[in-house]
Chains A and B, each alone.
Chain A
Amino acid sequence: MATAKFRIWRGDARSGKFQDYTVEISAGMVVLDAVHEIQATQAQDLGVRWNCKAGKCGSCSAEINGHPRLMCMTRLSQLPLEQPVTIEPMRAFPLVKDLVTDVSWNFRVKEKIRPFRPRPADAADGTWRMDQSDVDRVQEFRKCIECFLCQDVCHVLREHHLHEQFIGPRILVHSAALEMHPLDTENRLGDLKRTQGIGYCNITKCCTKVCPEEIKITDNAIIPLKERVVDEFYDPLTRLFRVFR
C-alpha cells in the first residue's frame, strides 16, 4: 500500500517543533483522514479540532503546505506527496495545542457589530416584503462557515497583529451582510472607519482566495463597504448632493 509522510506541528504557545509521521494512504483520502489515522495509531495526544468532515462546520482549519485550508476538504491527490505534507495551526490566532488555535477573539469582536435593526413592518400582520434579487446579494455572505481562514491569511492580523484595530475579513463580511440588507436601517459606517479599521485592508484578495465557500469577500463585501465609507466621510460632492437632495 502507498504511504505518505506528514510533518505536523506539535507543541503549544511556549514551544514546539515539527514531527514526522508516515501513513498508509488510499484513494479519496483527505488530510483530516491522515491526521485521524496518526491520532489513532501513532500520536494519541495529537490535538486537532474537527466536527462535520464535510466542509460545513469550519472547525478543521489549518495550514497545509503553507496554504490556509480546511483539512477535511483537501484531498491528498491534490498535494505533491513526494515531499512531506506540512500541517500547521493557523498563525493569526493564539495556539492552544498542536493544530488547535483559540479563535474566540473572532466571536468577541463579532459581538461588537451593531445588530440588525429592521425598518417598521410593511404589513399590518407585522411582516415585511423583500424582493428576492435584493436578498440574493446578502445571501452570499450567509454561506460563511466561520472557519476563519480569511482571518488567518489576512496579513493585517497574521503579520501585523492589529487585532485591536482591525476586525478582519470575516467580521467585515458579517457587517456587510447586515449593512446591505434590504430591511436594515442601522448605520455601521462610522464604526467601520473609526474603530473597526476598514482602512487597514489593502485589498490583497488573499481572503477571497482561501474562502472554502467561494464568497467573493473583497469584491462583494469589503470594497462595497469601503465605497460606502467613502460616501460618508471622503467624498465632498456626495455629501453636498445629500444636503440639497
Chain B
Amino acid sequence: MPDIDVPLVGGRFGRTSRRDLWWVQPLVVLLVLSGFVIYATWAAFQGNHYRFGPYLSPFYSPELWGNPLTAWIGGRPGWYPSWLIFSPALFILPFPAGFRLTCYYYRGAYYKAFWADPPSCAVGEPPRSYRGERSFPLILQNVHRYFLYIALLFIADLAYDAWNGFWFDGHFGMGVGSVVLLVNVILLGGYTLGCHALRHRVGGVLDRLAGARLRKRTYDCVSCLTGQHMTWAWCSLLWVAFTDLYVRLCSMGVWHDWRIF
C-alpha cells in the first residue's frame, strides 16, 4: 500500500477544536457501565433473595445449581471450589456478560469511555501504540457470535420465567413484578435479536436474498432492530438490573409487590 507523502502532525490527549460537551457521553457511559458492573457483581455474589413468589431474578435464571427444591440440577455441586462463595448467578452471568462485552455497540462505547481510544470523535488520544482488534486480546472479540447463540437460549428461558411470573399458586394473575419480568424479556429480546452477528447469520452472509423469502423477511426484521441497537442495549441493561433489584427488595420485604388482579 502506498505510503502517505508528507509526515502528519501528531495529536495529543484531549486536543480538539470541538466546542460541544464531547466528554459528557463517554463519561456517562463510564459511570453507567461501571455502576452496572459493580451492582451485578455484588448481586451475583449474594446468593440469596433472588426469588419472590413466582418471580425469579434474571441474574439467577436459569437456576442450574442452587436451592435443591427449585434448581434444575440440584444443590451446590461437589466440584465447586470450596474457596469460592457459592451463588447460582455465577454459573449464569459470565454468558450475558460475554455477550455484552463483545457486542459491536458496546465495544465502540467502552473503547471510548474506558480507554480513550479515542475519547470522542475528532478528539486527541493519549500517545501510545495501537493494535486495534487484530491481535490478542481484542482479537477474541470475534467470538461474539458464540455468545449470541447462548444469549438466544437465555431469551427463551427468560420468556418462560416471565410466563411463570403471571401464575400465583396455580392461578393466573398479574403483579407489578409480572410486568417487570415481561418488560425485561422484551427489552433483552429486542437487544439480542438486533445483534449485528445475528443479522449476518440470518441473511447478511448472502449476496442474494431475494430467492429466500423467509430469510429475507427475517433479515429485514433483524435489520430493523439493529438500527436501534444502542437504545435496546441501554434500556435492557438498566432494566435487567432493576428487575433483579425489584425481586431482591420484594424478597427482603423492603418493597411490596402490588397485585393488579
- A residues whose Cβ falls under 8 Å from a Cβ of B: 13, 63, 65-68, 80, 83, 86, 88, 91-95, 102, 105, 108-109, 112, 131, 133-134, 153, 155-156, 158-167, 180-182, 184, 195-197, 199-206, 209-210, 216, 218-219, 223-224, 227-228, 230-231, 234-235
Question: Which residues of B sit under 8 angstroms from A182, Cβ to Cβ?
Answer: 207-208
> Which of chain B's residues has its CB closest to A104's CB?
B5
Q: Do A202 and B133 touch across chains, with their CB atoms under 8 A apart?
A: yes
Residues of A contacting B204 in the complex (Cβ-Cβ under 8 angstroms): 224, 227
What residues on B are CB-neighbors of A131 within 8 Å?
A: 208, 210-211
The 29 listed contacts between A and B (C-beta, < 8 Å) are: A63-B17, A67-B122, A105-B5, A131-B208, A131-B211, A133-B216, A134-B209, A158-B122, A159-B10, A159-B124, A159-B125, A160-B129, A184-B207, A199-B139, A200-B130, A200-B131, A203-B105, A203-B108, A204-B111, A205-B108, A216-B227, A223-B196, A224-B196, A224-B204, A227-B197, A227-B205, A228-B205, A231-B205, A234-B143
Asked if B81 is at the interface (CB within 8 A of a chain A CB), the reply is no
Report yes or no: A219 in contact with B227, Cβ–Cβ below 8 A: yes
Q: Cβ of A163 and Cβ of B4 under 8 Å apart?
A: yes
Residues of A within 8 A of B209 (CB): 133-134
Cα A243 to Cα B229 with chains together (Å): 33
Q: In whole Å, how far is A244's beta carbon from the nearest beta carbon of chain B?
A: 17
Please classify how large the interface on chain B is, using the bins under 10, 10 to 19, 20 to 34, 35 or more.
35 or more
Residue from A91, A92, A156 in contact with B130 in the complex, judged by beta carbons closer than 8 Å:
A156
Contacts of A164 in B (CB 8 A): 1, 3-4
User: Are B6 and A204 interface neighbours, CB within 8 A?
Assistant: no
A209 to chain B, nearest CB (A): 6
B181-217: CB near A (< 8 Å → 1, else 0) gives 0000000000000001101100011011111000010
15 A-B pairs besides A102-B6, A216-B227 with CB distance below 8 A are A65-B17, A67-B18, A92-B8, A155-B118, A159-B118, A162-B130, A163-B1, A167-B1, A203-B105, A204-B111, A204-B118, A223-B196, A224-B200, A230-B145, A231-B205
Given the known A-B contacts A182-B207, A228-B205, A230-B145, are A66 and B19 also in contact in the complex, defined by CB atoms under 8 Å?
Answer: yes
- Pick from A88, A92, A202: contact of B108, CB below 8 A: A202
Among residues of B, the one whose C-beta sits closest to the C-beta of A233 is B142
On B, residues with C-beta under 8 Å from A are: 1-11, 16-19, 104-105, 107-108, 111-112, 117-118, 121-122, 124-125, 129-135, 138-139, 142-143, 145, 196-197, 199-200, 204-205, 207-211, 216, 226-227, 229
Q: Which residue of A lies closest to B132 (CB)?
A: A200
Asked if residues A65 and B207 are in contact (CB atoms below 8 Å), the reply is no
Docked-complex contact A199 and B1, CB < 8 angstroms: no
Q: Which residues of A contact B208 (CB under 8 A)?
A: 131, 134, 182
- What are the 10 A-B residue pairs with the smallest beta carbon separation, nearest first? A131-B210, A94-B6, A66-B17, A66-B18, A199-B134, A206-B121, A200-B132, A227-B200, A203-B108, A234-B142
B10: chain A residues at CB < 8 Å are 159, 161
Q: Which residues of A contact B104 (CB under 8 A)?
A: 203, 218, 223
CA distance A199 to B134 in the complex (A): 5
In the bound complex, CA of A243 to CA of B40 (Å): 41
- Given A184-B207, A202-B107, A223-B196, does the pair A160, B130 have CB atoms closer than 8 Å? yes
- Tell me the bound Cα distance from A135 to B132 in angstroms: 32
Contact among B4, B7, B16 for A66, CB-based, below 8 A: B16
Interface pair A227/B6, CB less than 8 Å apart? no
Contacts of B197 in A (CB 8 A): 227
Q: A219 contacts which chain B residues (CB < 8 A)? A: 196, 226-227, 229
Q: Which residue of chain B has the shortest Cβ distance to A193 in the bound complex?
A: B134
Point out the residue from B122, B133, B199, B200 that lies within 8 Å of A63, measured CB to CB.
B122
Residues from chain B with Cβ under 8 Å of A133 in the complex: 209-210, 216
Q: State the CA gap A165–B4 with chains docked (Å).
A: 11
State the Cβ distance, A156 to closest chain B Cβ, in Å.
7
Contact (Cβ within 8 A) A202 B132? yes
